[in-house]
């Protein structure tokens, strides 16, 4: 309905120099295990929400970009290094890395790509011994740490 207020999803890099807003539902949310996404994210796999360019805006700062292939760019914060997005050059959408959203719990992937490079242990992580950050550091040590991470809101 045209009168309905569009929900806005926001996010940004770790330092807060780059922020973005999304005004439409992602067309697709997926994980990519491909070797290029492993390198670009510095992680075992990457996860992306595909957003139409018309529904997306950088609202603070401008990311730097690396042309990772002849067809694609990957945007990142030049100040803190956070990987932010993947986009086909002149494509209709931008794919935002889901960990960069302020509420990543709302961005749930529904399919996987690049599985030729999927690391064998990934499917078993739910069975690894687990601790919260508080359990890992303890309250005394955790209380002395000053975060320089931008908060999960504008």
Q: Which residues bind Zn ion (CB under 5 A)?
A: 13, 15, 17, 32, 34, 37, 77, 79-80, 114
Q: Are the beta carbons of 64 and 78 closer than 8 angstroms?
A: yes
Closest separation between CB of residue 17 and Zn ion, Å? 4
Residue 40 backbone zone (phi > 0: left; psi -120 to 50: alpha; other: beta): alpha
Q: Which is nearer to Zn ion, 37 or 49 (CB)?
A: 37
Closest separation between CB of residue 119 and Zn ion, Å? 13
Q: Which is nearer to Zn ion, 17 or 137 (CB)?
A: 17
Q: Which residues pair with 86 in a beta bridge?
A: 74, 95
Q: Which is nearer to Zn ion, 14 or 137 (CB)?
A: 14
Q: Which residues pair with 49 in a beta bridge?
A: 29, 96
Q: What whole-number distance in Å separates Cα of residue 73 and Cα of residue 85?
A: 8
Closest separation between CB of residue 8 and Zn ion, Å? 20
Residue 141 backbone zone (phi > 0: left; psi -120 to 50: alpha; other: beta): alpha
Burial 68-83 (b: 16+ CB within 10 A, else e): eeeebbbbbbeebebb
Q: Which is nearer to Zn ion, 120 or 139 (CB)?
A: 120
Closest separation between CB of residue 145 and Zn ion, Å? 19
């Amino acid at each position: 309905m045209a009168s309905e207020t569009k929900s806005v999803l926001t996010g940004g890099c770790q330092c807060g120099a780059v922020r973005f807003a999304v005004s439409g539902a992602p067309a697709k949310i997926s994980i990519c295990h491909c070797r290029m996404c492993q390198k670009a994210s510095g992680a075992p796999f990457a996860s992306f929400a595909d957003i139409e360019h018309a529904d997306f805006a950088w609202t603070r700062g401008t990311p730097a970009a690396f042309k990772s292939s002849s067809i694609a760019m990957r945007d990142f914060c030049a100040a803190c290094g956070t990987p932010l997005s993947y986009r086909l050059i002149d494509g209709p959408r931008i794919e935002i890395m889901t960990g960069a959203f302020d509420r990543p719990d709302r961005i749930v992937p529904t399919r996987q790509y690049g599985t030729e490079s999927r690391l064998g242990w990934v499917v078993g992580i739910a069975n690894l011994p687990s601790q919260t950050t508080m359990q890992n550091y303890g309250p005394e040590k955790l209380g002395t740490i000053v975060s320089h991470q931008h908060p999960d809101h504008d």
